[in-house]
Structure 1
Amino acid sequence: MSIETTERYRRALETRDVDLALSAFAPDVVVHSPLTSRVRFTGHAELGPLLEVAYTHLRDVRFHTDTGDGETRVVVYTARIGDEEIEEAAVLKIGEDGLITEVTLFVRPLPGLVALMDAFGPDIARRNGRTFAARLLAVAAKPLLAMVRSGDRRAVPLAGPRG
């Protein structure tokens, strides 16, 4: 049953089908943000808008790993957010009914994670009626994204092995 659930999860993301995705989640699902431990989304009412935002920004989704057992599965995929590549791992807790009850998300590399914050944050805030927060997030993320991209391109290679 859990492989059928993760297959539905995968198909929903690849086709950007929010209804299909929600059918894989328990009504009281809890989703833990990859950005901070202070944010989580609970239930279909909060998850639906999050999925709509995610499906708007994620491109070139390619799943490469689905592993685990009937209670816990880990699915991993690569995608693009704008010009940034990301790799996301989702730890999925599966209930006895075969539905996902809890998701913990992890995103790498850092420029991709910050691009996710830059793309998702303002959209989610707007959908929650927080227009000032959306504007603030849109402005605040830009210098961080520029700094992280610059560091990734220029500083990180200086610290790596000589080649």
Structure 2
Amino acid sequence: MKAFRQFVESNIASGSFAGVEELLADDVVFRSPIAHKPYPGKAITAAILNGVSRVFEDFHYVDEIEQDDRSALVFEAQVGGVTVHGCDFITTDDDGLIKEFTVMVRPMSGAQALMNAMEAEFPQIEADAIAFMEAQR
């Protein structure tokens, strides 16, 4: 999805993806490479993506595959000095909003580094999701 890729590339250096919720469907489902259950909803997905923006260093997309409403965005990054290779699998709805967002990462050391970094971010992620939901009321 070109709009998401452009958004990330324009904002990753700031450590914030403020406004990413504009690209998400209300019923978006986020699937993490380090969690066993999906995260449904715009509030938690936006908060997780903001958390990711704080933990990835030297993040950049290296390839993109698009077919109809599906995209695969291949990336490389560093997390705590560990190299992470991954892919964002994105499906959009009829309005062009992201309805499914699945992330896969490798190698295992990169997944472990990401898990540890995101675990440290999770209190802020939860607080951000709650604040977003309250603002929507």
After TM superposition, the score normalised by the length of structure 1 is 0.68
Deviation of 1:125 (Å): 4.5
Matched, 1:82 2:80: yes
Q: Which residue of 2 aligns with 1:158?
A: none
Q: What is the CA–CA distance in structure 2 between the aligned matches of 1:39 and 1:122, rounded to whole Å? A: 19
Deviation of 1:76 (Å): 1.0
- Among 105, 108, 111, which residue is 1:110 paired with? 108
The alignment of Structure 1 onto Structure 2 pairs a total of residues equal to 127
Q: Which residue of 2 aligns with 1:120?
A: 118
Kindly indicate whether the alpha-carbon contact (under 8 Å) linking 1:94 and 1:101 is maintained by their aligned counterparts in 2. Answer: yes
**CA 1:91–1:127 in 2, change beyond 3 Å: closer, same or farther?**
closer
Kindly indicate whether the alpha-carbon contact (under 8 Å) linking 1:88 and 1:106 is maintained by their aligned counterparts in 2. Answer: yes
Deviation of 1:15 (Å): 4.5
Kindly indicate whether the alpha-carbon contact (under 8 Å) linking 1:49 and 1:124 is maintained by their aligned counterparts in 2. Answer: no
Kindly indicate whether the alpha-carbon contact (under 8 Å) linking 1:5 and 1:98 is maintained by their aligned counterparts in 2. Answer: no
Kindly indicate whether the alpha-carbon contact (under 8 Å) linking 2:62 and 2:75 is maintained by their aligned counterparts in 1. Answer: yes
**Residue deviations 1:12-62 (CA, integer Å, cap 9, x gap):** 4454442332222112210001024x2222222112321222111111011
Identity, % of aligned positions? 21
**CA 1:39–1:12 in 2, change beyond 3 Å: closer, same or farther?**
farther
Kindly indicate whether the alpha-carbon contact (under 8 Å) linking 1:8 and 1:20 is maintained by their aligned counterparts in 2. Answer: no
Q: Which residue of 1 aligns with 2:54?
A: 56
Kindly indicate whether the alpha-carbon contact (under 8 Å) linking 1:30 and 1:40 is maintained by their aligned counterparts in 2. Answer: yes
Kindly indicate whether the alpha-carbon contact (under 8 Å) linking 2:105 and 2:111 is maintained by their aligned counterparts in 1. Answer: yes
Instruction: Provide the aligned C-alpha RMSD in A.
Output: 2.1
Instruction: Map 1:12-161 onto structure 2 (within 5 A).
Output: 12-13=11-12, 15-36=14-35, 38-125=36-123, 127-128=125-126
| Structure of greater Rg | 1
Kindly indicate whether the alpha-carbon contact (under 8 Å) linking 2:86 and 2:105 is maintained by their aligned counterparts in 1. Answer: yes
Task: Give the counterpart letter for 1:59 in structure 2.
Answer: E
Deviation of 1:5 (Å): 4.3
User: Matched residue of 1:56: which SS?
Assistant: helix
Structure that is richer in strand per residue? 2
Deviation of 1:63 (Å): 0.7
Kindly indicate whether the alpha-carbon contact (under 8 Å) linking 1:26 and 1:101 is maintained by their aligned counterparts in 2. Answer: yes
User: Matched residue of 1:18: which SS?
Assistant: coil
Q: Which residue of 1 aligns with 2:132?
A: none
Unaligned runs of 5+ in 2: 128-137
